[in-house]
Amino acid sequence: MRTLTLVTLATAIFCIGQVHAQVQNHDPSSPSLRIEQAIKAYDAGKREEAHSLLATLAETGKANEVAYFYLGMIAYDAGDFTAAEAHFRKAISINPNYAPPYSDLSAILLEQQKLEEAENMAEKATKLDPSYAPGFANLGMVQYLRNKQEDAYDSFLAAAKLDPAIITSSGAEMLTQYNDPNAALYYLNISLAAAPNHPLTLLDAGQAYRMLGDNKKAKELLKRGYEVTPVGQGSFDVLYSSYFRLLLDTGDYDTIIRDGFSKVGPNYPNGYLLRSLAFYQQGKKEQFEEAAKHYFSLIKEPLPASLDVWAREYINGHKKNY
């Protein structure tokens, strides 16, 4: 089993889950409607507005477990872990069968190195709601820190089966913030075991293998991501660029020229970008210039003073990133 590098304890804390109240009462003064408004404000990044709505309910004794849960999340976001812990515990006291605050309380306890209690809280969340992915993710992290490696793997896998993105995001964090592809692959391979064709997981795993110098494995994963991801889906463009640029950097120019438009229309800018660069590397000047001019026409930018210099600098600059 691959060993996870823990850079900081804070890195290990998983995202707080979001729970939406089911509201039927549309009386503008009703607590349930105010909670709904607060949740919408929170989701829109309006933390102060959400806090004002929820704090008013708490002051008048009309706040339920969902209100206190969101008060806890707002405090957590602000770095006030003491207040967050108090709010999560209040939510639990109001409704002991409500899973989310147990999970997020475990994250706070994990930061406090109270590992046994943190594990108990996370495990309680998973038992109360077996569909709540953050509970399994937090449980896995506590188990990992308690050297329960097999249990941790099982918990991470359960989280990934429910929501691959929650585990993939931890792998991505290891890549982007800590430049640690081995730690990233611990998470990403778990996500791939749960969801073999998850686009973002394939993208991040491909990039991790590139960083490790394993271009064969990187190409396999990026190609699969390119093939299974529908055109127009949010991650498609990044997968397209990552896969075909890997082909460019490894000298597979024929595949770029042959397959560059296999899934996209004839006016896809990146198709002409990579096609032009492949022709440049092959020394096919006429085809290179034609494709490059089409690319700049599509992106509505003026042609560089020298297409040769542009291509050379683009290729050399791109390779410096790896």
Report the CATH number at residue 51: 1.25.40.10
Other Cβ atoms less than 10 A from the Cβ of 28: the count is 8
- Is residue 1 assigned to a domain? yes
Single out the residue of 51, 54, 16 nearest to residue 33, CA to CA. 54
Single out the residue of 77, 39, 37, 35 nearest to residue 57, CA to CA. 35
- Is residue 288 assigned to a domain? no
Q: Give the pLDDT band (50/70/90) at residue 2.
A: very low
- Is residue 52 assigned to a domain? yes
Residues 163-176 have pLDDT tens digits of 999 999 999 999 99
pLDDT, mean of residues 36-47:
95
- Is residue 317 assigned to a domain? no
- Is residue 91 assigned to a domain? yes
Domain that holds residue 71: 1-162
Structure tokens at 110: 């994990």
- Is residue 73 assigned to a domain? yes
- Separation between Cα atoms, residue 101 and residue 88, nearest integer Å: 5
Counts of helices then strands in the chain (DSSP H, E): 17, 0
- Is residue 8 assigned to a domain? yes
Q: Give the pLDDT band (50/70/90) at residue 47.
A: very high
- Is residue 306 assigned to a domain? no
pTM above 0.95, yes or no: no
The pLDDT score that the predictor gives to residue 27 is 55
Single out the residue of 140, 160, 161 nearest to residue 150, CA to CA. 140
Domain count, the chain: 1
